[in-house]
Each structure stands twice: as C-alpha cells, then as structure tokens.
Chain A
Amino acid sequence: MTRMGFFTDTSVCIGCKACEVACKEWNDVPDDGLDFLAMSYDNTGALGADTWRHVAFVEKTASRGGSAPPTSPPSTGGDSGVRWLMSSDVCKHCTHAACLDVCPTGALFRTEFDTVVVQRDVCNGCGYCVPACPFGVIDKREADGRVWKCTLCYDRLKADLTPACAKACPTESIQFGPLEELRERAAGRLGVLREAGVAEARLYGAHESDGVGGFGAFFLLLDEPEVYGLPPDPVVTTRDLPRMWRAAAGAALALAGAVAVAVLPRR
C-alpha cells in the first residue's frame, strides 16, 4: 500500500479550529476541559489523550518576527503590529516511531497505510509510549486507563475517505494524500513562499534523514519549531538501544563481579 500522510501548511492556517472539532466529532474524543489558558486564542494547550489535533497560536511583534507572509492576516497597525503564527499540530506518524518500538504488548502497530495506531482492545495502559514519544503526543486517558492518540482516521482510510481534520479544513492548510505527492507539493509551496520573500518558511519533518526517519505528518512552518512547541531535532530513542544494552551488560557483569569479590575466601 502507498504511505498516506498529512502535509500541514501553516502559512494558510487561519486558526479556525475546525480540525480540532471535526476530529473530536468523528473519533468521539472526550472533552479535554473548558479552561482559559491565557495563551492567545489557544485554550486547548497541547496534544494529549483527548486532543488529537491542537491549533497553536503564537503572537509575535512584527518587528521581531521578520517579514509577514502574504497570506497572514493584516497586522493590527504599523510596525508594532502582531504577527500571527497558527499551526495545527498532530501525531507525526514517524517512520521510526519510538511509541511503537517500546510498546510491550504490540498494541501500537503500523497499519497498511504506514500510519501508527493504538489497538484499544490490546493496550494495557503500561504508559511506556508516553515518555518515549519525542513530541509529547501520546498520553493516557486516566478514567479509561489506556493510551490514545491520532489514528490518522484509520477507519475512514479503510473506507477510502479523507481524515476528518483534512476534510473540515477550509483553507487546505491540512492536506491529506500519498506522502510522496505531499512532499512534492510541499517543496513547490516552499519555493513559492521563498520567492515571495518569506525567508523564514521551512519544512519540518519532510526529510528521511532526520532523527525519526521523516514524519508521515509533516509541516511547513514560519519560524523555528520550538516556537510552536515542537522539538527542533527529534530522535527516536530506540536508535541508541544497542548501546544501552551494552552498557547494561557491562553493569550486570560489574554486579556479578562485585558479588564474586565479596565471597572470595579471605586469606
């Protein structure tokens, strides 16, 4: 099967949160609290067990943030205006997915679309995937005991439908399709923006050479990843696992040696 994914082009995101709502509606995701977080228009906060799409809102003063992209809303006035950054975050469906690697039950698996999904009838809530994810995506639903995250609408994909968030997005900020096509489209869009003078535009997670082997859901950002709450250079933790086991083998030998030394008959 062809690898399917998302390309989230944040340069055309208008912060409407239709993706958040559509995701909740389709996937029957419980509410994540009605809190006012005092983070611009963001009262969702972060991805989690009950938030599978999260729209980030960053307000930067235009003078500090460089040139505004042609598609961003007009600033509120002069050089002191606010430059808006809006971005709909989602599970990255990593090529090398740490959550999947460390899952001891096999509940997390790779689908025929090359996406990463939790089998809810298998997960026993051990929670290992939670600190393993370099993006802080997956989390445990306390009342339920299991972990939850974006499935890239596995059920809709099986029925040849577009995932709910992409379907609901009014500006095509969220694009769904075969990953190869999306990467080509993203490269083209990046070229257009650069040509229009948006020097800070960059792709995030579009390359297989990064620490997680590329994202199945990648982004076009208008600032450094950490500004959006994303890690700048994520690495799949299991990359170092052979080295870790070697260190543990050395430590196990040291422990055996310590015990041997302790019981040696003394002269």
Chain B
Amino acid sequence: MTDSYYGRPILKAPVWKWYIPAYFFTGGLAGASSTLALAAQVTGNRGLRRTALGAAAAGVAVSGPLLVVDLGRPGRFLNMLRVAKPTSPMSVGSWLLAAFVPAAFAAAFSDITGRVPRLGRAAAAGAGALGPVVATYTAVLVADTAIPAWHDAQRELPFVFAGSSAAAAAGAALAFTPVGSAGPARRLAVVGAALEVSASRAMERRLGPVAGPYTDGRAGRLARAAEACTLSGAALAALAGRRRPAAVAAGALLCAGSVLTRFSVVRAGFESAGDPQATVGPQRSGRGSA
C-alpha cells in the first residue's frame, strides 16, 4: 500500500451521467449499421440495406439528444463547433457527427420515401465510410483522460468498442431483416462478438492490477453479464438464426450485450478514478512520465 491523503481520490470522477454510455451504444450501433448498409448496398442486398439504414438513423436520432442533455449548459451545444481541435477527441467527434448524422438521415429518408435515390446512395456511402470511425472514436475519448483504467486501456478499448458496435449492428439487423437477407448479419454477429470478447480479455490480461474495476465489483458484474449476452446472442444467431423468433432473440441479446459493455467500461472508469492506489501505484512503478 502506498500513502494517500486520508484515502481520498487524487482524480475527479467524470461528471457524465448515464446518457454518455448510452450514447456510446447508440453511436456505435449507428456507425457499424451504416457500414453494414453500405456493404449491403454494394452487394445488392436490399432487405439488409433497408434495416441497416433504419438502425443507423434510429441510432443517430437518439444519440443527438443524449449528448445534448448531458451538457451542463445544453443551450450551448453549438459551441462544440466553435473550434476544431485535433487534441480533443470530443471536438473531433463533434465534427465527425456533424458530417455523419445528416448523411445517415438522408440515406434513410431516401430509402423510405424512394425520393432522390442517387443522393441516397451517395449519402449511404458517405455514412458507411465514416461509420467505423464513429464507432471507435469514443474509445479514444475515454482513453484520453487521466483515469488509469481508461488511459492504460488505450490499445484494446477501440477494438472492444469496434466489436461491440459490430455485434449491436448485427443484432439490430437480425431482429428486423427477413431471414433470407440476413446472412451477413448472422456472420457479423459471430465476428463482432469474437472481436469484442477477445479484445476485452486481452485488455484485462495486459492491464494487470489496473484492470481491477473491469473484473471486480459492479463494473465487473456488468462485464460478465455483457459477455454472457454477447456470446449467447452470437451462438443463437449462428445456430438458429434462420428462424425468425430465434433471430429476434439473438438480436436482442446482442444489443443488450453491447449496452452492458459500454456501461461496464464507463463504470470501471468511475471506480478507477475513485481509487488513489490506482493512480499512485502505476506512477510509482515507473509507468508515469517515464
């Protein structure tokens, strides 16, 4: 045990409320769904393109309000576009969303109404290209803090978020796409789940003591629930995904797993910030400025 000042935390815990991990899910769902929609567009899978565009539009429709209500001064949300700062992942994300959100909406609007099809295809292509970045920049956003469980996880967290987003997009597509068109979603469920679970495990192994919050306590329980949902959803999709009820159940499990993963990661950060040993220990053992 190292010294501390009456056991008080050195760092301040984030002031973010549940809106932020919820956004990590909806933003990830929207990003990966856009990319899935683009892949469906390229391969001529109309049924899958429609549901994926719908999931992307639904994801961004929820994301915007979540981000605005979390602000201490929601009326000033446009200040996010006052400057463009590469040193701030939140600024990068704001500009990313400023391009991604209109594209995702335009693509879905065109698909539903059948109007401006050429613009719709271009918008879907643009959103699909930005999708993977929308799904992963949030990992950089949390890693770019002083909180050890987030900062030290910088190598694996983007892969956890990428896998979690892919699983969520696959889940949404599975739940709403006719089984004949949902083959890619079933395969994406398996690949996404494998990516998420393997990246999470690699992160916990490499972090050692700093990973404590990811395996113990409330965040650890959320992580175990997330893994159970994600793996069972992927297994169900692979084995019984050609039957509608099973596909819907698999989709729900995959989305639940993705939600739980984001809440687990955020919770782990709060717990890590509250522990002075987590701050002092690694700095004392030479993983500070050295």
Contacts and interface: CB of A to CB of B under 8 A. Distances in A.
Contacts of B80: 104-105, 124, 126
B39 A263 contact: yes
Interface of B is mostly: helix
Interface stretch (B83-91, B109-117, B221-229, B241-249): B83-91
Contact of A140 (B5, B15, B133): B15
B32 A235 contact: no
B133 A131 contact: no
Interface string A122-156: 11111110111111111110001111000000000
B18 interface: no
Interface in A205-242: 210-211, 223-224, 226-235, 237-238, 240-241
A253 B132 CA distance: 7
Contacts of B76: 105, 122-125
A251 to B, nearest CB: 3
Interface string A237-266: 110110111011011111110111111011
Given A124-B73, A243-B154, A259-B32, A229 B8 contact: yes
Contacts of A258: 162-163, 166, 188, 191-192, 195
Interface residues of A, number: 76
A206 B45 CA distance: 63
Contacts of B191: 258, 261-262
B64 to A, nearest CB: 14
A102 B144 contact: yes
A193 interface: no
Contact of B9 (A102, A133, A136, A233): A136
Given A237-B144, A255-B166, A248 B158 contact: yes
Given A104-B80, A260-B39, A140 B72 contact: yes
Nearest to A229: B5
Contact of A252 (B10, B133, B290): B133
A205 to B, nearest CB: 12
A238 B87 contact: yes
Contacts of B290: 233
B162 A252 contact: yes
A255 B72 contact: no
A248 B139 contact: yes
A172 interface: no
B12 A130 contact: yes
Interface in B162-218: 162-163, 165-166, 170, 183-185, 187-188, 191-192, 195
Interface of A: 37, 39, 42, 45-46, 48, 56, 58, 98, 101-107, 122-128, 130-140, 144-147, 210-211, 223-224, 226-235, 237-238, 240-241, 243-245, 247-248, 250-256, 258-263, 265-266
